[in-house]
Amino acid sequence: MNERRRIVLIYSVVAVVSVIFLAFAVHLGSQVPEQEEPEFSNISAPKARTFFPIKADFSGVNQAAAPVKLSDLKGKVWIIAEFFAVCPHCAVRNGQELKSIYDEFKDHPDFHMVCVSVDPLTDTPERLIDYSKALGADPADWWFMSHPNEKETHDYMEKELGFFAIRERTDPVDIESNGRFAHDMGIMLVDREWNVVGKWPLADARTEEGRKRDPELYEKLKKELLGRLREELEKNETAGIDELLPDEETAPEKTGSDE
């Protein structure tokens, strides 16, 4: 076989293999089920007013070593956040964000706050009572709550409430600087009917990196959170007034004279 025929043969074989491979690829492609076209029609629709209902209860003890459960708060408007006592980021957030919210709304009888420890084995009531006193938190309306089982705590916060996954740090230097756990720093709001109505990442928005990405985001989120909190608290007040006012159709007729 001369050189020319050998080259032609090689190219022929390559061409045949390529055709076979292409046919096989087309066949596989035909077996893939059709994908639905993405739906963009509601992209600018208003956000849902209620995120989701809370279905399962969660119990533990607060900083006063009193047994408490989240279902005790039905009928109240409450804020919930994750924390652990030695977390430096929580100390900043709790001392600035949560304390300012607490100081503004603590006199409202239907307002409550809950901080759930993601490190319950370390955060004993004895440790948490000192922590809460430093923030001026009254156990009657601001719980620092711990549940005896760490895994159950993490599962509840992640799966039931939808906080981001809690990650245990392994680098000793990282642990020394930031504490044992990396966790969600968001502030979640729950209405009287036990619906989660929103979560606001104020701590992330006010960091240097957050300010760099969007200098106005922190102020926008804080205004939104406080506005929604006031709105939820006012709902019951309005409903209460409506209940006291007589219905026009059923109100008794006025008799006599005003004179």
Whether 67 is covered by a domain: the verdict is yes
How many Cβ atoms sit within 10 Å of the Cβ of residue 247?
7
Whether 84 is covered by a domain: the verdict is yes
- Domain of residue 58 covers 52-242
pLDDT, one tens digit per residue, over 38-64 is 332 333 334 445 689 999 999 999 999
Whether 112 is covered by a domain: the verdict is yes
Which candidate, 78, 99, 86, 159, places its Cα nearest to that of 127? 86
**CA–CA dist 62, 143 (Å, integer):** 5
Contact 141, 103 (CB under 8 A): no
**CA–CA dist 172, 158 (Å, integer):** 25
Q: What is the torsion angle, in degrees rounded to the nearest 10, for the CA atoms of residue 190, residue 220, residue 116 and residue 175? A: 160
Whether 93 is covered by a domain: the verdict is yes
Sign of the alpha-carbon torsion through 145, 149, 154, 159: negative
- Domain of 156: which CATH number? 3.40.30.10
Q: Identify the residue with better confidence: 48 or 255.
A: 48
- C-alpha distances (whole Å) from 198 to each of 15, 49, 53, 223 are 60, 8, 11, 13
Whether 116 is covered by a domain: the verdict is yes
Residues facing 60 on adjacent strands: 68
pLDDT, one tens digit per residue, over 92-106 is 999 999 999 999 999
Whether 44 is covered by a domain: the verdict is no
The structure's pTM equals 0.73
> How many domains are there within the chain?
1
Which candidate, 92, 90, 114, 91, places its Cα nearest to that of 102? 114
Whether 255 is covered by a domain: the verdict is no
Is the pLDDT confidence value at 130 over 80?
yes
What is the chain's alpha carbon radius of gyration, rounded to the nearest angstrom? 29
Whether 120 is covered by a domain: the verdict is yes
Sign of the alpha-carbon torsion through 25, 28, 34, 35: negative
pLDDT of residue 225: 97
Q: Identify the residue with better confidence: 236 or 55.
A: 55
